[in-house]
Structure 1
């Protein structure tokens, strides 16, 4: 069957009360953005607890569905037949025709779910469901009703027109991007940080990102790997301004001046400082990292306390209590895993100490950072001024 419409369901938006229209409007904008590069002419409209997408002419069905599955806020995508409201007999005939064309084998159990969004319609939702079910039994005797555990559910929604559908393709749920402010993601080439970007964006947060590059110790392939990861996250989050910071001189200076068991913590603190600088420049309301408690030495509670201490903005860690397998599962779902495991190391893995401190004391770290006083401010300034910004779509 060729579908010329989609009914879009949302879940969490529905509990937003008087502010719901703000989230609906944001969802409409994100749907339009997602469909912009799909072949076809799509018209997106709000309608009483639903979003409707109508299509004029030919279009790529598979690409349209794939694009919609990247839009946060959508709980289900329903390919829909829409017919005009010309009375109940016409409605029932349209449902019979739909079932006849949609299901070659009619030997299944079913129930009809009616929804009367148009309160002027002369029948209630229950009456619509019962009468349509009776018409289907008359037309297809091999079908039978099971209201508790049916093989198929036939949905009939009475609105300005009549919407008929039976398929619900899962969406990513969450909240529409752009409804919860903006944050700066510390993006590396690993598995965790792209997942963190996906997770925070799922709550409606718009993203910028910062990546710390260390040539010649990290290659151009490592940089491209991060750009590719940003592109995969951007399918969900929308466009990302990726700040690529040359971190080599800062890392080498820290390596020369500080105890090697504290290298990771001190480097991480300077990454946070630089990322926060760009966050404030870009009106971000916080930083986002892929850290999970205890996963590595720099992610113990004591280590996180030391890195947090340099930030005035909040640091959001959506993966904080996740097991590694939890993170891997999500990375596979959003197609970042295969890119993340490419063998191009980032600066975090190049300068790792053999025996990093796992329970650093903040006072000691702050004291030892004074070893950097002679040159660190100038190196920070150079790194910030030489930043490369790539607009990732």
Structure 2
């Protein structure tokens, strides 16, 4: 089937008021960034929808395949065109129906007759097209409400446009419309999903990872790099800050009682993340914590960890079940990478009996015997910064 253009529906953006244009402009920039490798397609934005056009069939197919990852798009439909000649309209309608799964489906025709000079009125055109389709596809059944297939026809002065397939988009808000935050990316299942959920709300991300060689291997670092790269495929680049964490972890093991060492480890990570956040101008810190999932994610543990910063901590998975998190990870394509069996710094020194209800005053007392500030400052200064995806260094990146 030859498609002329793609109709993009904004969804949530349509509810915006005077600032709607800002969000639509951001979506346009994100689409430009995501499809910089397709030089021939063009965009035309309207109040509640956008059209993407290309004379290159291969580009249209690429747009159809990759648009579902662009945040800010509720749904989209491939659009075919015909002349105003009735035979051409009927032939195009049949081609569209043949491209869809139609066996034992319900069906209806919806007409928008913008060109009032067209000889048939709305109901006549509906009946004519529906009768022709039904005579060629006898398994179809007419259903005017909630039909499986809605063949939509818009009659304009220069052409007649038709569509039937509605492909779900990623929803949410355009990336870059809600500032920047710093994602604590461990390499497990949860943190990439948390990052995805903030991306969906229009938040651009940097990521931070804590690497403790020789206790953690280069393979574990490469795993996190792969996850950062996967997150960059949702419409904007991601910078990954790799923190050398070995000296701090060894100091924690030497100074802090074993049963609260994980709480202190998380507190030191949060302090470092807050310094990096301030340096890059991010407004919040994102974690993949889910309440009660492990000892460091009880309400008491989270309270002790939060005490080191006044920065907003976003925990989009806080009430999610593990199976729900896994479902999202599989959907967005990070699950198989996350389950690769390479250790991270939070697993190598795990206590056999960690405190699930650590007392903040006791944790602070144990930490007072060691000056961690210099180690933290040194770790921030010696961090490695990587950008993903590597292949998309282009002018549009500055627009995001």
TM above 0.5, yes or no, is yes
| Contact 2:243/2:383 (8 A) holds in 1 | yes
2:382 match: 386
Residue aligning to 1:41: 40
8 Å CA contact retained: 2:9, 2:76: yes
* 8 A Cα contact 1:177 1:201, kept in partner: yes
| Deviation sequence 1:85-115 (CA, Å, 0-9, x none) | xxxx54x555422222123479864212234
How many Å separate the matches in 1 of 2:313 and 2:156? 45
Report the counterpart of residue 24 of structure 2 in structure 1.
24
Counting only pairs closer than 5 Å after superposition, residues 26-105 of structure 1 correspond to structure 2 as 26-38=26-38, 41-83=40-82, 89-90=84-85, 93-104=87-98
Most deviating of 337-346 and 51-60: 51-60
Confirm or deny that 1:222 pairs with 2:216: no
1:348-363 correspondence to structure 2 within 5 Å: 348-363=346-361
Sort the Cα spacing of 1:32 and 1:306 in 2 relative to 1 into closer, same or farther, 3 A: same
Worse-matched range after superposition: 319-328 or 378-387: 378-387
SS of 1:69's equivalent in the other structure is: helix
Alpha-carbon offset, residue 367 of structure 1: 1.5
Counterpart residue number, 1:309: 307
Partner of 2:204: 206
- Aligned equivalent of 1:255: 253
Distance 2:112 2:305 in 1: 53
Q: Offset at 1:252?
A: 0.3
Task: Tell me the TM-score normalised to structure 2 length.
Answer: 0.89
Q: Kindly indicate whether the alpha-carbon contact (under 8 Å) linking 1:106 and 1:140 is maintained by their aligned counterparts in 2.
A: no
Asked if the contact 1:218/1:345 (under 8 Å) is kept, the reply is yes
Aligned to 1:244: 242
Partner of 1:371: 369
* Cα offsets for 1:324-372 (capped at 9, x unmatched): 0010000000010000000101101111111111001111111111021
> Aligned to 2:151, what secondary structure does the other structure show?
strand
Cα separation, partners in 2 of 1:23 and 1:61, compared to 1, 3 Å = same
Partner of residue 344, structure 2: 346
CA RMSD of aligned residues (A): 2.2
Deviation per CA, 1:222-260: give whole Å up to 9, x if none: 000000001111111510110000000000001101111
The corresponding residue for 1:300 is 298
* 8 A Cα contact 1:194 1:233, kept in partner: yes
> Is 1:110 the counterpart of 2:107 in the alignment?
yes
Runs of 4+ aligned structure 1 residues displaced above 4 Å come to 105-109, 158-162
CA contact (8 A) 2:108 2:130 kept: no
More displaced stretch, 55-64 vs 234-243: 55-64
Choose the corresponding residue for 1:331, options 325, 329, 332.
329
Deviation sequence 1:262-301 (CA, Å, 0-9, x none): 1111010110111111111111110000000000000000
2:129 is the alignment partner of 1:131: no
Q: How many residues align?
A: 380
Structure 1 contact 28–45 (Cα < 8 Å) conserved: no
| Cα gap change, 1:372 to 1:164, in 2 (>3 Å) | same
The runs of 5 or more residues in structure 2 that have no matched partner are: 390-400
- Whether 2:150 is the aligned partner of 1:156: answer no
Taking the aligned partners of 1:16 and 1:207, their CA distance within structure 2 comes to 23
Asked if 1:179 is matched to 2:177, the reply is yes
Q: Which runs of 5+ in 1 are unaligned?
A: none
User: CA 1:123/1:361 → structure 2, altered by over 3 Å: closer, same or farther?
Assistant: farther
Distance change in 2, residues 1:51/1:387 (3 Å)? same
With structure 1 as the length reference, what TM-score do the two structures score? 0.91
SS in 2 for 1:372: coil
2:398 matched residue in structure 1: none
The one of 245, 264, 280 equivalent to 1:266 is 264
Shift of 1:392: 1.1
